[in-house]
Amino acid sequence: MRRRVLQALAPAVAAVAVVGCAPAPTLPPTVDSGSAPAGAAQATEAQAAAAPSESPAPRQCADVAAELPLSAQVGQLFMVGVSTAGVDETTRRAITQGRVGSVVLLENTRSGAEDIRLLTAELGSLGTADLPLLIAVDQEGGRVQRLRGPGFDDIPTAVDQGAMPGDELREAAETWGEQLRRAGIHYNLAPVADVVPADLVESNAPIGALSRHYGNDAGAVGEQVAEYVSGMDAAGIRTSLKHFPGLGKVDTNTDFGAARDDVTGRDDAGLDVFRAGIDAGADSVMVSSAVFSRIDPDQEAVFSHTVITDLLRDDLGFDGVVIADDLGAARSVAGIPAAERAVRFLDAGGDLAINATPGLMADMIEATAQRAADDEDFAERVAESATRVLRLKAAAGLVDCA
pLDDT of 143 > 60? The answer is yes
313 vs 351: CA distance, rounded Å: 12
- Evaluate whether 71 touches 100 at the Cβ level (below 8 Å): no
CB-side neighbour CA atoms (13 Å) of 174: 11
* Burial tier of 199 (Cβ tally within 10 Å: 0-12, 13-18, 19+): exposed
Closest CA to 312 of 301, 326, 298: 301
pLDDT of 385 > 70? The answer is yes
- Evaluate whether 103 touches 185 at the Cβ level (below 8 Å): no
- Evaluate whether 82 touches 93 at the Cβ level (below 8 Å): no
The count of other CB atoms within 10 Å of the CB of residue 133 is 23
CA 92 to chain CA centroid, Å, is 20
19 vs 101: CA distance, rounded Å: 13
pLDDT of 152 > 70? The answer is yes
When pLDDT is averaged across residues 168-175 and rounded to a whole number, the result is 99
Task: Give 52's pLDDT tier (boundaries 50, 70, 90).
Answer: low
> Phi, psi at residue 144, to the nearest 5°?
-115, 70
* b/e 28-58 (16+ beta carbons within 10 angstroms → b): eeeeeeeeeeeeeeeeeeeeeeeeeeeeeee
pLDDT digits (tens, 9 = 90+) for 102-132: 999 999 999 999 999 999 999 999 998 889 9
Reported as type and span, the H/E element at residue 9 is: helix 2-15
| In 36-151, beta strands by DSSP E | 78-83, 102-106, 134-137, 139-141, 144-145
Alpha-carbon separation of residue 30 from 36, 40, 74, 125 (angstroms): 17, 19, 37, 33
Closest CA to 395 of 318, 319, 281, 309: 281
Closest CA to 288 of 299, 278, 277: 299
249 vs 265: CA distance, rounded Å: 12
When pLDDT is averaged across residues 138-157 and rounded to a whole number, the result is 98
pLDDT digits (tens, 9 = 90+) for 6-17: 344 433 333 333
pLDDT digits (tens, 9 = 90+) for 219-237: 999 999 999 999 999 999 9
> Phi, psi at residue 350, to the nearest 5°?
-75, 170
150 vs 111: CA distance, rounded Å: 7
Please tell me whether residue 85 adopts helix, strand or coil conformation. Answer: coil
When pLDDT is averaged across residues 319-340 and rounded to a whole number, the result is 96
| In 234-349, beta strands by DSSP E | 238-244, 260-261, 284-287, 291-292, 321-324
pLDDT of 43 > 80? The answer is no
pLDDT digits (tens, 9 = 90+) for 246-290: 999 999 999 999 999 999 999 999 999 999 999 999 999 999 999
- Structural domains in the chain, CATH included, are 59-395 (3.20.20.300)
Closest CA to 102 of 402, 400, 396: 396
As a 3-state breakdown, the chain gives helix, strand, coil percent values, each rounded to 5, of 45, 15, 45
Please tell me whether residue 359 adopts helix, strand or coil conformation. Answer: helix
Give the 3-state DSSP-derived string for 162-199, with helices as H, strands as E and coil as C: HCCCHHHHHHHHHHHHHHHHHCCCCEECCCECCCCCHH
Closest CA to 307 of 322, 326, 328, 320: 322
